[in-house]
A and B are shown apart, each in its own frame.
Chain A
């Protein structure tokens, strides 16, 4: 590469925008269909257990809810273990009622070991 070309590239680079963004002040937008943290709409769930059946890593387990919710939710519901999950989204695709969804939340790193187990819980104050 000639010297003229080098200087040309140098000036071009000086006045062009960087490829990166200043995270966390700026962030690249995450698409809607991203395979991030799971979200369960327990009111729609029919307890078919297909999500647990299709999961390649056995990260989904059908469990009963605590006693105080048993009257309204008497069946078994999916409990997710994010440590085992590979975020493939097969549980979302197979769900006949579309109640289990993968959201675009990617901030899943946590120092709290209990936070990686997502128990099925009704929405609202608990």
Chain B
């Protein structure tokens, strides 16, 4: 028997207004367990559909690398440096290895330098493919996500062949050179994978108009002066019209011998950041092709054998190195007091500044629907930010 509801029991607009009297202000938590945020949280204050304030909430993925590195010799730290940013492990290997090489003053064999650049650029390519995948997912375009991750797997096959692991190369780029030489036939396989990546890039261009431009044009615009003031680096800064790239400004390894361009755009919005990454992939392919043509024969590591931990001595001194990673500028400060382990290591990833000041600045004043587009257009990595 149904109870006849009287007028007082019905929930009406007036009832709701009594509970929430004309208030459209509320807190909104984006992450850290949100499928679109990736181990990182942003506390937002929303008014209706508009974000009135954003506060980044870091620390969810902190693992304490800097302290862990003080208890390990450089070769062991090379393995640890993979984990700083899962999405571009080889680039972080290179940052760490360069810092140690500068302290020890070891002359790196020329072949090892070429292999290092080859692997770092391959890592940049796969990192940009991951970005394309998650950016597509954030915009509700699942096909792009699946395709990007599918094509990325071809690059991972190459990593598996050369380093012995798909995602974690286990310090492949190590102090003194690289851990293994390129196996026979790997050059041909790399060229085949480059062709496949170019195929993917053509598809990315085809999808451009229907998905990306409509959701990202004019969204999350960062002005040049704000980008510099907030410490943006890499593609985020280049999308604001600043022509900067560590590979050109402060060349390391063999980058000064290679011919490549720095893509720059003036708009500063999420769409510009997307286009910059697409162009960067083209430049990376250009670099890899040049490296494959010129790679010399010779040793791959100096010294050739791994020194046992008890005999490792890092000369006293301090260094600061910087590299161009897929996401921006990655730096390492290392100080040694003459022991086997570094006295202090400071890693400075690009994402700390992208995920805290830049993201907070961009989210303020944006719409709820644009949050994922802004968030992923910065190509952020919580692992690198929290470290």
A residues within 8 Å of B by Cβ? 1, 5, 9, 19-20, 28, 30-31, 33-35, 50, 53-54, 56, 86-90, 93-94, 102
A87, B165: Cβ atoms closer than 8 Å:
yes
Q: Are A19 and B153 in contact (CB under 8 A)?
A: yes
Number of A-B contacts (CB under 8 A): 62
Interfacial chain A residues near B170, Cβ < 8 Å: 35, 86-90
Give A95 to B340 CA distance when docked, in angstroms.
Answer: 20
Contact with A along B348-380 (1 / 0, CB 8 A): 000000000000000000000000000000000
Instruction: List 7 additional A-B contacts (Cβ < 8 Å) besides A33-B183, A56-B72, A56-B80.
Output: A31-B183, A35-B170, A86-B170, A87-B170, A88-B171, A93-B179, A102-B164
Q: Chain B: residues with CB nearer than 8 A to chain A?
A: 72, 75-76, 79-80, 150, 153, 157, 160-161, 164-165, 168, 170-171, 179-180, 183, 206-207, 209-210, 305-306, 308-310
Do the beta carbons of B206 and A1 come within 8 Å of each other? yes
Expressed in whole angstroms, the Cα–Cα distance for A9 and B165 within the complex equals 33
Which A residues are in CB contact (< 8 Å) with B160? 30-31, 34
Is the Cβ of B207 less than 8 Å from the Cβ of A34? no
Residue in A1, A33, A56, A89 whose beta carbon sits within 8 Å of that of B207 in the complex: A1
Q: Are B150 and A89 in contact (CB under 8 A)?
A: no
5 CB-based A-B contacts, threshold 8 Å = A34-B165, A53-B309, A56-B79, A86-B168, A90-B79
**Are A54 and B75 touching (Cβ within 8 A)?**
yes
Once the chains bind, are B150 and A19 in contact (CB under 8 Å)?
yes
Closest 8 CB pairs of A and B: A88-B170, A56-B76, A35-B164, A19-B150, A88-B79, A94-B306, A31-B161, A33-B164
Q: Which residues of B contact A1 (CB under 8 A)?
A: 206-207, 209-210
Q: Which residues of A contact B207 (CB under 8 A)?
A: 1
Q: Is B206 a contact partner of A54 (Cβ separation < 8 A)?
A: no
Q: Which residues of B contact A53 (CB under 8 A)?
A: 308-310
CB-CB under 8 A from A93, the residues of chain B are 179, 306
Report Cα–Cα, A65/B254, bound state, in Å. Answer: 51
With the chains together, A4 CA to B45 CA distance in Å? 45
For A9, A35, A50, A56, the residue with the greatest tally of chain B CB atoms inside 10 Å of its CB is A56
CA gap between A34 and B210 in the complex, in Å: 41
With most chain A CB atoms within 10 A of its CB, the pick from B164, B206, B305 is B164
Q: Please state if B72 and A94 are interface contacts (CB–CB under 8 Å).
A: no
**A94 vs B164: C-alpha distance when bound (angstroms):** 16
Nearest residue (CB) in A for B71 is A56
Q: Which residues of A contact B209 (CB under 8 A)?
A: 1
Residues of B within 8 A of A50 (CB): 308
Chain B residues, CB < 8 A from A30? 160
| B309 touching A89, Cβ below 8 Å | no
Whether the Cβ atoms of B308 and A54 lie closer than 8 Å is: yes
CA distance A56 to B206 in the complex (A): 46
Cα distance, A56 to B160, chains bound together (Å): 21
Do A90 and B306 contact each other (CB < 8 Å), given the known contacts A1-B210, A54-B75? Answer: yes
Q: What's the least CB distance linking B75 to chain A, in Å? A: 7
Closest CB of chain A to B250's CB: distance in Å? 30
Q: Which residues of A contact B150 (CB under 8 A)?
A: 19-20
Q: How far is the CB of A53 from chain B (nearest CB, A)?
A: 5
Say how far B288's CB is from chain A's closest CB, in angstroms: 20
Residue of B nearest to A53 (CB): B309
Contacts of B309 in A (CB 8 A): 53-54
Nearest Cβ in chain A — how far from B83, in angstroms?
Answer: 9
Query: Which of B150, B153, B160, B183: most chain A CB closer than 10 A?
Result: B160
Chain B residue with minimal CB distance to A104? B164
Cα A95 to Cα B164 in complex, Å, equals 17
Tell me if A5 and B79 are in contact (CB < 8 A): no
Q: Would A90 and B308 be within 8 Å (CB), given that A28-B157, A33-B183, A35-B165 are in contact?
A: no
CB distance from B299 to the nearest CB of A (A): 15
CA distance A68 to B229 in the complex (A): 71
Q: Taking the nearest CB of chain A, how far is it from the CB of B166, in angstroms?
A: 9
How distant is the Cα of A5 from the Cα of B207 in the complex, in angstroms? 11
Contacts of B164 in A (CB 8 A): 31, 33-35, 89, 102
> B132: shortest Cβ distance to chain A, in Å?
16
B352 to chain A, nearest CB (A): 25
Q: How far is the CB of A70 from chain B (nearest CB, A)?
A: 27
Query: Which of A28, A31, A54, A87 is within 8 Å of B76, CB to CB?
Result: A54
Q: Establish whether residues A90 and B75, one from each chain, have CB atoms under 8 Å apart when the complex forms.
A: yes
Q: Which residues of B contact A89 (CB under 8 A)?
A: 164, 170, 179
Question: What CA separation (Å) do A89 and B170 show in the bound complex?
Answer: 8
CA distance A89 to B161 in the complex (A): 14
Query: With A50-B308, A86-B170, A88-B171 given, is the CB distance from A5 to B183 under 8 Å?
Result: no
CA of A88 to CA of B174, assembled, Å: 12
